[in-house]
Every structure is written in C-alpha cells, then in structure tokens.
Chain A
Amino acid sequence: MKNRFKLYLQLFLTFMKIGAFTFGGGYAMIPIIENETSKKKDWISGDDLIEVIAISESTPGPISICAATFIGYKVAGIFGAFCSTLGVVLPSFVIIYLISLFLREFEEIKAIKYAFFGIRAGVLALLVKAVITMFKKAPKNIVAYIVMALSFAAVVIFSVNVIVVIVSAAVIGICAALIARKAGKNIV
C-alpha cells in the first residue's frame, strides 16, 4: 500500500517536472519525457516510448497529455494515469492563470505595445514554419494533396466550420484507404 502511494507520488512529481520545464510543448517535450521516464525511471522502454508517441499522434489531444496518461496507466493503472496527467497539466495551469490576471493591463504599457507589435510579425513566421513542418510530416500522395487544398479553400473561401473540415478529412482518408486496399494499393 505504501509502495503504491509512493509510485503515485513519483508519477505526479515526474510529470509535473516535465510540464514545468518544457517550453513550446509538443515535440520539444519528447526528449525530456524520454529522459525522465525511460532513462531515469525505467517505467517504459525506449522502443515502447516511440510507440506511445506514434499513438499520441493518432489520438486526439496534446502529445504531453496522451503520453502522461499512457505511461501513468501502464505503470500504475487508472489512478496512476490520473496522477501523471494532473502533474503534467498543473504547471501550465498555475503559470498561465497567474499571467491571465495581469496580461491585459500589462499590454497597455507603451514599451510592451511596441514589443507585441514586433512579436505579431514573428508569430506569423512561426505559423508559416508550422505549415512547412506539418507538410513534411504529412503523407505525399494525391489524396493527401487534395485534402490539403480542399481544407484550405473550405476555410479561407467558404468559411466552413473547422469541425466539419476535420471530420470530413478523416472520412475521406478512411474511404481512400479502403478503396486503395481493395485495388491492391497502399496509400497509408
């Protein structure tokens, strides 16, 4: 019983550390997750961790939350999953809540206004970089290109709801994969 409690606490603290020290989220977190859970703790093997990342990519939600839930569950069941997920979310929650209390007033300061004017152009560059990164990770075939073009046009030209676009894209992907398999081709 005591060991069990200690394990929950360890999960909570380890994932809190991961949540507190990774900036930018997503893929930036992977090396730290690996170091904390695989090298230091032996909770999961390196190969299994790669599997977890792959699964996180194909399930909804941020990678850090998926990884925390998965590893917590493997190590100590549902309550373990709860502890590690709470741990990974808590630092962001506390820090951003505190920032939210004064961000609006902070933005009224002249120097900060100037700073954010520059920053907005910088963020636009970050977004363009994100498009390029996502494009590199996306499949390269005719179905993929059509979905990309249609999604873009649907939102920019026809202002289609994002949920509708996401669900339609998944359905198109599934249909294409099934049709291609029937035709003896592999597009996934």
Chain B
Amino acid sequence: MTYLILFLEFFKMGALTFGGGYAMIPFVEETVISHHWMTMPQLVDFIAVSESTPGAFAVNISTYVGSEVGGLFGSFCATLGLVLPPFIVILIIARCYEKFKESIIVKGAMLGLKSTVVGLIGATVISVGVSVLFQNGQDQWSIIRSSVSSANFWFSIGVFAAMLFLLLYKKLNPILIIVISAALGIIAGYTGLISV
C-alpha cells in the first residue's frame, strides 16, 4: 500500500509540474508534509543536499522520500511514478510537436502555468521563511516575540540577506552559497552565538 501511495503521489507530481527544479517545490512541500513523510526543516535541508549533488531536483527528492518511507523499493516506486508522465507525454508529442507548439491551447495553458509558478514559489518562500526564522515552526505571537529577541533569529536574517546579495549581485553559484552558509553556521555554533 505504501508503495502504491508513493507511486501515485509522485506520478501526480510528475504529471502536473512544469519546468522542473524549483517549480516543483510547492508541490513537494504539500505532499511530503501532509503525509508526514518529512518535516519542514528536513525538506529545507534536503533542498541543500539536492543542490550539492548531481541530477534533477525532482529525481533526487523522489528517491530520497521513497527511501525514507519504503526503502530501496520505495525509492524505485516513487522515482518510476515521477518519470512516467513526462516519458509518456514526450513520446506522444515527439511525433507531432510542430502542431503542439503552435496550439493556442498549449500557449494559453503556459501563460497560466508560468504565472502560477511565481505565486506558488512565493507561497513556499513564506512557509519556508516561517520555518527557518521561527525555528519552533509555530506562528503564535509569543513565539514570534521570543524569536525576534533571540540571536538565532538575527543570525538567520543576516545569513539570508548576505546570501541573497551574493546571489543577485555577485551571481554566486548555489553550491558556493550552501558552503558559505554552512561555514557561517559552524562558526556561529562553536562561538556560542547561536544555540541549536
């Protein structure tokens, strides 16, 4: 049963996310959190692992979640589910892609899909942001107030701002961003600036 659920959940993801990569994260977030397959911090950690290992994010996350939930065969089912929809769709389209490309239906759908992805990832920024900055993961005011007065909160804000600057203005590679923020975390941890 677990295997079937893994297969079907990732089949849905494979069938309904366009463009791959980060466009996939809102969907992954909803699926793995609602099934209690991963917590939010685990998912955020895994995004970093995925950036630092080769291959598509989607395949990495399906393999990882599959393994956590159902071992090697779980990995296989989840990844098979993910790969099957694009494989089938491309086989169909490869025969008639001229028509496909020019179709007003396809163009219209892309207008909607390219736009919704912006909103969806924006929503993910909010949920990941809450989880990262308020590491208790609850949004009650008392926790926000105690978080804002903690060094952990300001450390995360500082790292976030610095990394965003490096990404946008220095065009730094994502792997370097992860290495630098890891180093900052280790320094802050051992100097007692943050408590984890």
Contacts and interface: CB of A to CB of B under 8 A. Distances in A.
Pick the most buried of A70, A78, A126: most chain B CB atoms within 10 A of its CB. A126
Pick the most buried of B57, B118, B155, B177: most chain A CB atoms within 10 A of its CB. B118
Interface residues of A, number: 105
A187 B156 CA distance: 41
B175 A24 contact: yes
A139 B7 CA distance: 33
Interface string B109-127: 1111111111111111111
B113 A166 contact: yes
A23 B176 CA distance: 12
Given A26-B20, A59-B18, A173-B108, A118 B183 contact: yes
Contacts of A60: 14-18, 85-86, 89
Nearest to B18: A60
Contacts of A21: 54
Nearest to A107: B45
A129 B169 CA distance: 11
A63 B63 CA distance: 17
A61 B17 contact: yes
A9 interface: no
A145 B122 CA distance: 13
Given A58-B110, A81-B90, A129-B164, A118 B115 contact: no
9 contacts: A25-B60, A57-B110, A65-B86, A97-B75, A115-B183, A118-B185, A121-B181, A131-B125, A139-B111
Interface of A: 19-27, 29, 51, 54-66, 69-70, 73-74, 78, 81, 85, 88-89, 91-93, 95-97, 99-101, 103, 107, 110-111, 113-135, 137-139, 143-145, 147-156, 161-163, 165-178, 181, 187-188
